[in-house]
Chains A and B, each alone.
Chain A
Amino acid sequence: MQTLYDKLWQSHVVHEESDKPDGMTLLYIDRHLVHEVTSPQAFEGLKLAGRKPWRLDSILAVADHNVPTTRRDHGISDPTSRLQVETLDQNCEELGITEFRMNDLRQGIVHVIGPEQGATLPGMTVVCGDSHTSTHGAFACLAFGIGTSEVEHVLATQCLLMKKAKTMQVVVEGELGHGLTAKDIALAIIGEIGTAGGTGYAIEFAGSAIRELSMEGRMTLCNMAIEAGARAGMVAADNTTIEYLRGRPFAPKGDLWEKAVAYWRTLKSDEGASFDKTISLEAAQVKPQVTWGTSPEMVTTIDGSVPDPSQITDIVKRHDMERALKYMGLAPNTPISEIRPDKIFIGSCTNARIEDLRAAADVVKGRHVAANIKLAMVVPGSGLVKYQAEQEGLDKIFRDAGFEWREPGCSMCLAMNDDRLESGERCASTSNRNFEGRQGPGGRTHLVSPAMAAAAAVAGHFVDIREIY
Chain B
Amino acid sequence: MKKFDFCDGLVAPLDRANVDTDAIIPKQFLKSIKRSGFGQNLFDEWRYLDHGEPGMDAARRKPNPDFILNLPRYRGAQILLARANFGCGSSREHAPWALQDYGFQVIIAPSFADIFFNNCFKIGLLPIALDANNVDQLFREVEASEGYRLMVNLQGQSVTTPAGQSFLFDIDPFRKHSLLNGLDEIGLTLQQADKIKAFEEKRRAAQPWLFA
Contact = CB atoms under 8 A, between A and B. Distances in A.
Contacts of A124: 210
A433 B22 contact: yes
Contacts of B17: 316-317, 320
Contact of A415 (B27, B33, B88, B192): B27
Given A200-B114, A415-B27, A23 B172 contact: yes
Interface stretch (A148-156, A178-186, A390-398): A148-156
A145 B115 contact: yes
Interface string B80-109: 000111001111111010000000000000
Interface string B91-134: 11110100000000000000111110011001100000000000
Interface string A5-27: 00000000011011000111010
Given A26-B189, A28-B199, A87-B33, A150 B122 contact: yes
A83 B54 CA distance: 13
User: Interface residues of A toward B: which range?
Assistant: 35 or more
Contacts of B75: none
A317 B192 CA distance: 47
Contact of A441 (B35, B45, B55): B45
Contacts of B15: 316, 319
A441 B51 CA distance: 8
Interface string A68-87: 00000000001011011001
Given A121-B209, A157-B190, A159-B189, A37 B30 contact: yes
Contacts of A343: none
A263 B196 CA distance: 22
A80 B37 CA distance: 15
Contact of B92 (A57, A147, A156): A147
Contacts of A309: none
A325 to B, nearest CB: 14
B93 A24 contact: no
A323 B28 CA distance: 23
Contacts of A229: 85, 88, 113-114
A1 interface: no
Contacts, number: 195
A331 interface: no
A14 B92 CA distance: 27
A159 B196 contact: yes
Contacts of B200: 28, 55, 158
Contacts of A320: 16-18
A259 interface: yes
A24 B91 CA distance: 20
Contacts of A41: 33-35, 93
A310 B63 CA distance: 31
A84 B185 CA distance: 26
A445 B199 CA distance: 46
Nearest to A196: B85
Interface in B14-39: 15-18, 20, 22-23, 26-28, 30-35
A297 B31 CA distance: 28
A260 B22 contact: no
A123 B22 CA distance: 32
Contacts of B209: 121, 251-252, 256-257, 259-260
B90 A130 contact: yes
Interface string A135-152: 000000000111111101
Contact of A17 (B27, B51, B93, B174): B174
B114 A416 contact: no
Given A121-B209, A161-B189, A131 B45 contact: no
Nearest to B93: A147
B207 interface: yes
A446 interface: no
Contact of B85 (A49, A78, A199, A415): A199
Interface string A206-227: 0000000000000000000010
A436 B93 contact: no
Contacts of A326: none
A84 B33 CA distance: 6
Contacts of B84: 196
Nearest to A51: B186
Interface string A43-56: 01100010100110
A30 B158 CA distance: 39
Interface string A345-378: 0000000000000000000000000000000000
B91 A131 contact: yes
Given A37-B30, A415-B27, A157 B196 contact: yes
B203 interface: yes
A163 interface: yes
Contact of A435 (B20, B51, B94, B193): B20
Interface string B144-166: 00000000000000000000000
B90 A131 contact: yes
B145 to A, nearest CB: 21
Given A161-B174, A161-B189, A196-B85, A149 B22 contact: no
A252 B212 contact: yes
Task: Please indicate which of the listed interface residues B54, B175, B200, B207 has the most CB atoms of chain A within 10 Å of its own CB.
Answer: B207
Contacts of A66: 31
Contacts of B62: none
Nearest to A200: B114
B93 A38 contact: yes
Contacts of A408: none
14 contacts: A14-B196, A24-B175, A26-B192, A37-B31, A38-B93, A84-B33, A121-B209, A131-B91, A145-B91, A147-B91, A147-B122, A295-B20, A320-B17, A414-B22
Given A17-B174, A152-B186, A323-B16, 11 more contacts: A22-B172, A84-B32, A130-B90, A131-B90, A131-B115, A149-B93, A158-B196, A259-B209, A316-B83, A416-B27, A433-B22
A-B complex: 9 closest residue pairs judged by Cβ atoms: A252-B209, A147-B93, A149-B122, A147-B119, A145-B91, A40-B33, A196-B85, A80-B31, A148-B93
